């Protein structure tokens, strides 16, 4: 069964890389995502912010179907996200993901972490994949750590490996699920710097974060979520200086007073 988008949003699906239409999800009786509509265009950097439990991480994870949805449509580059099987794997390969907990493969070296998916999923030649991996590790500033294991690296270094691992698949979009929340404070910036440079290079990014500085600096658009709904969205400047909703005002008051 192929579900179709409403006529008004079909146009959007053709021009936007990621489109969510009326996405709903429940955890038991908790309605964590309520009629979410969102469209991310090519090269756009969208930052998702909101209080804990607002559903922003869940939303991020539904986009490559690490979380299933109850209803609605999610489209990546004009293709609806399939529910399982080969097509799902193929579409996931086009969507990079960077996790809060890094999730590097503990038994593989840094270099192997970066090359495994290109070699096994995209069937790239191993030598070529390794060369590209070294370039990417150089780009995120950890070329010298290529032969170490994840446990031998600091959190900031591990997260940069995870970013290189995502980039190695040449994804159309990268999802960042609170990429700096598990880091010691002094390592946050090294990761944000890499992300900022990616944003500047035109990578399409959806970032769930509590780093308001990053949102101001790198985002094209800020999406504010609360209680499973998108409450408001705006350019970073407009959002941070003139939030329209009471919910956003009280959220910003709480986090920006210090």
Which residues would be at the binding site for another protein (CB under 8 A)?
64, 66, 84, 86, 89-90, 92-97, 99, 101-107, 116-117, 120-121, 149, 151-152, 162, 165-166, 169
80 vs 243, beta carbon nearer another protein: 80
Question: What's the min distance (Å) between Cβ of 232 and another protein?
Answer: 29
CB nearer to another protein: give 169 or 230: 169
Please return the burial class of 145, using the count of CB atoms within 10 Å of its CB with bins 0-12, 13-18 and 19+: buried
Among residues 10 and 181, whose Cβ is nearest to another protein?
181
- CB-nearer residue toward another protein: 96 or 236: 96
Q: How far is the CB of 109 from another protein (least distance, A)?
A: 12
Taking the complex as a whole, how short is the minimal distance between the CB of residue 216 and another protein, in angstroms?
28
Q: Within the chain, how many helices (H) and strands (E) appear?
A: 10, 10
User: By C-beta, is 153 or 215 nearer to another protein?
Assistant: 153
**CB 92 → another protein: shortest distance, Å?**
5
Residue 30, by phi and psi: left (phi above 0), alpha (psi -120 to 50) or beta?
Answer: beta
Handedness of CA 32, 36, 41, 44 (dihedral sign): negative
Q: Shortest gap between Cβ of 151 and another protein (angstroms)?
A: 4
């Amino acid at each position: 069964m192929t579900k179709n988008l409403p006529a008004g949003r079909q146009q959007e699906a053709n021009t936007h890389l990621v489109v969510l239409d009326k996405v709903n999800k429940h955890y038991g009786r908790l309605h964590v995502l309520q009629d979410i509509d969102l469209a991310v265009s090519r090269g756009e950097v969208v930052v998702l912010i909101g209080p804990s439990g607002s559903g922003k991480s869940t939303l991020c994870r539904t986009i490559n179907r690490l979380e299933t949805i109850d209803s609605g449509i999610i489209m990546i580059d004009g293709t609806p996200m399939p529910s399982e099987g080969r097509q799902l794997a193929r579409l996931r390969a086009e969507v990079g993901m960077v996790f809060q907990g890094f999730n590097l493969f503990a038994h593989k070296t840094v270099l192997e972490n970066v090359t495994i998916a290109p070699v096994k999923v995209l069937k790239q030649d191993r030598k070529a994949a390794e060369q590209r991996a070294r370039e990417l590790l150089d780009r995120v500033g950890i070329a010298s750590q290529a032969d170490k294991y994840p446990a031998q690296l600091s959190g900031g270094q591990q997260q940069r490996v995870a970013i290189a691992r995502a980039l190695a698949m040449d994804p159309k979009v990268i999802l960042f699920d609170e990429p700096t929340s598990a880091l010691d404070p002094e390592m946050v910036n090294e990761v944000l710097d890499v992300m900022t440079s990616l944003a500047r290079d035109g990578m399409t990014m959806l970032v769930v974060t509590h780093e308001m500085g990053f949102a101001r600096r790198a985002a094209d658009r800020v999406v504010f979520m609360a209680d499973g709904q998108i409450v408001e969205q705006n350019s970073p400047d407009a959002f941070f200086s003139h939030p329209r909703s009471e919910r956003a005002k009280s959220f910003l008051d709480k986090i920006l007073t210090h």
